Structure 1
Amino acid sequence: MQLTLIQLYEKIRASMGPSGWWPADSKEEIIIGAILIQNTNWQNADRALERLRQATALQPDRILALPTAQLHKLVRPAGFYRNKSRALVSVLGWLKRGNYDCPAICQYYGAQLRNELRRLRGVGPETADVLLTYIFDVPTFISDKYACTLFTCLGVSSLTDYRGLARRCSLPADFTPAMAKDFHGLIDEFGKVYFHSLSKFQESFLSGDRLIIPVG
């Protein structure tokens, strides 16, 4: 069956139910988690997140007030602790300059918000798109490894990296912020079930489907 992007979303959701993503209790936790998860797994990121929670209750001002050595110690389980500590200080410090008012920050930067996020230390393309979607409620397609694998299985060719898929895929205008968040979560949940090993995709409810991405 040929599927449009929204039909793909609807089919995964009908089969798997709502994703509940991002799994966090606050936007602060999402921001911190999005930085800690870089180049590691959820188990390691969660260990560092829990240490930060116990030490600071994940309050940005308390994190920013930590001595560098203590911040390094708390972040260490997530790996790359120096870079991730700098990224936390960079992103949280930037938000503090905007009084942590995400709607106002989004309105101020408008269409330039993604470029502004990319200027922050430790914010690559994927992290910028996560922040746009989950923090600033700007519906954005997050073309992570699971998405790239899924789209390749659905017949989309020549997907070599994050930017390769991001250039070819954007969410339709009728995608709401809630749908964008759920879609990303569903793709990752699908990947956890059907991409280990990749041959399991042939057993999935998407086997035999093909995705149609309009040429823009």
Structure 2
Amino acid sequence: MQLTITQLYEKMRANMGPSGWWPADSKEEIIIGAILIQNTNWRNADRALTLLHNTTGLVPDRILALPPEKLHDLVRPAGFYRNKSRALVSVLTWLAQGNYDYPAIRQRYGAHLRQELRALHGVGPETADVLLTYIFDVPTFISDKYARTLFTCLGVTGLTDYRSLARRCTLPASFTPAIAQDFHGLIDEFGKVYFHPLTKFQESFLAGDTLAL
């Protein structure tokens, strides 16, 4: 069956239930987690997140007050600790300038918000889209590796990197922030089950479907 983006989401939701993504207790935890997860697995990122939580309670101002060497030690389990520490300081400092008032920050920058996020150290296109979707409630499609793998399995060709899918896939206007968040979570949960190994996709409820993109 050929599916639209909306039909794909509805089929995944019907078969999998709500994703519950992003699993976190606060938006600040999502922000920090989105930086720590870069170029590593969740186990390593979670180790660093736990250390930061135990030391600072994930309170941004307490993280910013840490000496650089201490922050490096806490971030180290996530790898690339110098770059990620710098990214945390950059993003949290920028948010502090807006008093962590996410709706107000969104309103201030409007259509230029993604550009502002990309200008921050350590914020690539995927992290920017995660922050737009989960922090600023801007429904955005996150073209991560699981999404590219899924869409390739559904017959979409030429998906070589993040931009190759991001420029081709925009969410329908009917997608609310909650739906966009859930859709990303469902894709990643689907990938964990059916892409290891990739041949397991043929056992999934999407086997035989294609995507109209």
1:110 corresponds to which residue? 110
In structure 1, distance between residues paired with 2:175 and 2:136:
15
Equivalent residue number for residue 26 of structure 1? 26
**Distance in 1 between the 2:99 and 2:136 partners?**
14
Cα distance per residue 1:56-100 (max 9 Å; x no partner): 000000000000000000000000000000000000000000111
Q: Distance in 1 between matches of 2:100 and 2:181?
A: 21
Q: What is the CA deviation profile of residues 122-164 of structure 1, one whole-angstrom value per residue up to 9, with x for unaligned ones?
A: 0000000000000000000000000000000000011100000
Which residue of structure 1 lines up, in the alignment, with residue 119 of structure 2?
Answer: 119
* Structure 1 runs (4+) greater than 4 angstroms displaced: none
Structure-to-structure mapping, 1:34-113, within 5 angstroms: 34-113=34-113
TM-score (norm: length of structure 2): 1.00
Write the distance in 1 (CA, Å) between the matches of 2:178 and 2:10: 13
| Structure 2 letter corresponding to 1:53 | H
How much does 1:188 deviate?
A: 0.2
What secondary structure sits across from 1:58 in the alignment? coil
Question: Which deviations, in whole Å up to 9, do the C-alpha atoms of 1:178-215 show, x marking residues without a partner?
Answer: 000000000000000000000000000000000001xx
Q: SS where residue 100 of structure 1 aligns?
A: coil
Following superposition, the deviation at residue 11 of structure 1 comes to: 0.2
Which residue type is aligned with residue 164 of structure 2? G
Name the CA distance, whole Å, in 2 between partners of 1:28 and 1:145. 24
Q: Counterpart of 2:156 in 1: which secondary structure?
A: coil
Give the TM-score taking structure 1 as reference length: 0.98
Aligned AA (2:166): A
Instruction: State the alpha-carbon separation in 1 of the partners of residues 179 and 99 from structure 2.
Output: 28
2:160 counterpart residue number = 160
- Structure 2 stretches of 5 or more lacking a match? none
Report the number of matched residues: 213
2:136 is aligned to: 136
Amino acid at match of 1:89: V
The whole-number CA distance in structure 2 between the counterparts of 1:176 and 1:159 is 26
Give the aligned CA root-mean-square deviation in angstroms. 0.3
